[in-house]
Amino acid sequence: MNEKVIYVKNLVKKFGNFTANDNLSFEVFEGEIFGFLGANGAGKTTALRILSGLSKPTSGEVNVAGYDAYKQAEMIKRNIGYMCQKFSLYEDLTVKENIILYGGIYGMSKSLIRERLTNLLEKLHFQKDENRMISDLPLGLRQKLAFSVAVLHEPKIVFLDEPTGGVDPITRRQFWETIYETASRGITVFVTTHYMDEAEYCDRISIMNEGKIVALDTPEKLKKQYDAASVEEVFIKIARP
């Protein structure tokens, strides 16, 4: 087995009397694409915020990229990438300026940013457009670019919070190709999504319901276990027993 990059044991997060995360335990390995599923309000966002160093757990062990979530949130932040559903690039900045900005925020040197910028533009066949405003780009391209920026500093893990919300199926498909490519470089991809077809693309998925993880395995095994044709069916069987 590969190295563990996320280790969560008995994680509990309470807001007053409300338990948002109830005794979560799971592990995510290097280079894995891990799908984090659940209905709205199931506690996904809370867990994601804890894993990305934005919020502290109430109790339990949480270790991300080798750092402890209680004491080393700053180190966690340096070693992860993040992309959210709402678009994470600045529309009034050019492609190049966005990349330089995020590179700078993650403490990369000028020459390194320059090098990665060139590689990135080449890979996206985008050399001519480095000075175009983000607002001029089509949505699919923006999304790919946002993802590439999120992994620009080569983090150990990249968190994607419903990255394909409101995108057409073809663009989603293309986006997932980028995700595969990134995972093959050894970057762990931790993705939350509403789209059950996307869940099929993940190496493993976990399904949350009312603050608890109720299922965690590969899509194939889950389908077998629940005697379902698709992850969607699994999800429905779990959410409405």
**Sole binder of another protein in the list 52, 164, 178, 209 (CB under 8 A):** 52
Task: Give 115's strand partners.
Answer: none
Q: Which of residues 130-159 bind another protein (CB under 8 A)?
A: 159
**Sole binder of another protein in the list 7, 90, 126, 195 (CB under 8 A):** 90
Query: Does position 164 bind another protein by CB under 8 A?
Result: no
Closest to another protein by CB, 49 or 173: 49
Contacts 24+ apart (CB under 8 A), 87-90: 87/142, 87/143, 87/146, 88/146, 88/149, 88/150, 89/134, 89/142, 89/145, 89/146, 89/149, 90/134
Alpha carbon separation from 52 to 21, 71, 104 (Å, rounded): 15, 13, 19
The region of 36-44, 80-88, 178-186, 197-205 touching another protein under the rule CB under 8 A is 80-88
| Region of residue 14 (phi > 0: left; psi between -120 and 50: alpha; otherwise: beta) | beta
Query: Does position 14 bind another protein by CB under 8 A?
Result: no
Least distance (Å) between residue 75 CB and another protein: 9
The region of 4-12, 84-92, 175-183, 202-210 touching another protein under the rule CB under 8 A is 84-92
Burial track 110-120 (b if 16+ CB lie within 10 A, e otherwise): eeebeebbeeb
Closest to another protein by CB, 134 or 202: 134
Query: Does position 91 bind another protein by CB under 8 A?
Result: yes
Interacting residue ranges for another protein, rule: CB under 8 A: 52-56, 74, 77-78, 80, 82-93, 97, 100-107, 159, 161
